[in-house]
Structure 1
């Protein structure tokens, strides 16, 4: 079982989802734009896990907009399929970079992978921060290297 903040074992979350009919495109596979939604659900679970969800971000004086999203489709995802979406923090000092993997629950086959990048923006000044704010390091239980 993963440990609490300060342990990189706590820097991931997995969520299960069953692919719904409304997520499909005319070719009967998940429409490409819905992968961003799947990533978001896993990202929110991860942020809850480290104690720094979007409400807590706002309360701490920062917004964390997604500035980059990359998706690599490996295999189609189809109606009724149960998937496991994993989000993991891989960078945090100057930006928050998460990597994602979507796997078929039954077979473990990797279906999709991707990354998102978020940066801290000071809500008062609306300026992007060049380093992640101290609150992120506190929630991760780490000391910045700078």
Structure 2
């Protein structure tokens, strides 16, 4: 799987708050969207992954908000997989409007089975340095 992937999307009206700014919770949704798209770009469907008994759950998430974004803004989200081995995947994210960084974030995913027990990542998700 590629370490880095990039997506572009337009901010939708319903993602904004009463001040017309993207609500902070939506950045975590954007991060999830980037993870799903990164997996698809590598030829794997998340639904099929879960159907096979591999579930990736968010164990930790953080976001640093640097600039507001608004309805209609075209954002570019760069996801980078920093670590993927054992039962853990660490991602970092940068959300940009043009060259301007809007937000930065990190997540740690844990690989579990349907019963919520930790399990090793499938080989195709593992990145060895």
TM-score category by the smaller chain? 0.7 to 0.9
Which of 46, 58, 64 does residue 66 from structure 1 map onto? 58
Name 2:124's counterpart in structure 1: 138
Deviations 1:65-105 (A, max 9, x none): 11111000011111111110111111111311111100003
Q: Distance in 1 between matches of 2:26 and 2:124?
A: 32
Counterpart residue number, 2:27: 35
Match of 2:112 in 1: 121
Q: Structure 2: state its 5+ residue gaps.
A: none
User: What's the TM-score, normalizing by structure 2?
Assistant: 0.87
Larger radius of gyration: 1
Could you list the structure 1 runs, at least 4 aligned residues long, displaced by more than 3 angstroms after superposition: none
Q: TM-score, normalised by structure 1?
A: 0.78
Residue aligned with 1:30, SS:
coil
**What's 1:22 paired with?**
14
Give the number of equivalent residue pairs: 128
CA distance in 1, matches of 2:107, 2:93: 8
* Counterpart Cα distance in 2 of 1:104 and 1:52: 28
Instruction: Name 1:102's counterpart in structure 2.
Output: 95
Correspondence 1:49 to 2:30? no
Normalized per residue, the structure richer in strand is: 2
Partner Cα separation in structure 1 for residue 102 and residue 80 of structure 2:
17
